[in-house]
Amino acid sequence: MNLIACCSFKGGAGKTTALMGLCAAFAAQGRRVALFEADENRPLTRWKENGLSNDTWDPLCEVFAADEMSLLEAAYEQADREGYDYAFADTHGGSSELNNTIIASSNLLIIPTMLTPLDVDETLATYRYVIELLLNEKLTIPTAILCQRVPVGRLTGSQRSMADMLAALPLIESPMYERDAFAAMKDRGMLHLTLQKLGNDPMMRLVERNVRTAMDDLIALSGMVEKKLEA
């Protein structure tokens, strides 16, 4: 089982959105996904509850409480024993022994960011912290930046400057664009099942087209993640 952790010292950087999107992409390809929720605000639990209410939750996926060390260990053992293909860990903000354990136990580390000066500053701080931790522990774990809420059209001058700054770091080539479908995931449930439901309603063809484009983005992103794991 591959453990992938999303890390950021800053709230609102897009950790949970990235996990929701990747979870849907892998589930759409028949993979079993465990979600380790270390964030005490429980955004993944609420997402599952909304998905169950909307009939858009995939049984290939499950949320495990992991906001304490004992819960994290139990969640990992259970998910590994039950044959999950991937586990995604949603870390909480800041540094802690729990976050350090998740980072050191992962097969891939993803640091999400938006293209704003504040977000990029926090991303650089998180990246530096992660690399120093790995060096101290004598670990080699691939770490990559995932750009979030990237405009579909042209970038502003400030956004281009931030993108140029990040270009010196390892990046996941497929970003998550600024799409309504991504913003609505937490309320609608899993994106691939939302797409199926929309496909059955001829009155929702325009919305379906937009959600399908977002889903295509996620499939491409999942492919890039798999390449990072293989590397």
Instruction: State the Cα–Cα distance between residues 123 and 106, nearest whole angstrom.
Output: 18
> How does pLDDT run across 81-131, given as a tens digit for each residue?
999 999 999 887 777 889 899 999 999 999 999 999 999 999 999 999 999
pLDDT of residue 13: 67
Q: What are the pLDDT tens digits along the chain (231 aa)?
A: 999 999 887 666 688 899 999 999 999 999 999 999 988 888 999 999 999 999 999 999 999 999 899 999 999 999 999 999 999 998 877 778 898 999 999 999 999 999 999 999 999 999 999 999 999 999 999 999 999 999 988 899 999 999 999 999 999 988 999 999 998 999 999 999 999 888 777 767 778 888 999 999 999 999 999 988 887
Domains defined for the chain, CATH in brackets: 2-230 (3.40.50.300)
Question: What ranges in 66-204 are assigned the alpha helix state H?
Answer: 69-81, 97-105, 117-136, 157-166, 180-183, 185-188, 191-199
Q: What is the reported pTM? A: 0.91
Nearest to 228 by CA among 61, 22, 8, 57: 22
Taking the C-alpha atoms of residue 65 and residue 74, their distance in angstroms, rounded to an integer, is 9
- Beta strand extents in the chain (DSSP E only): 2-6, 33-37, 61-65, 86-90, 108-113, 143-147
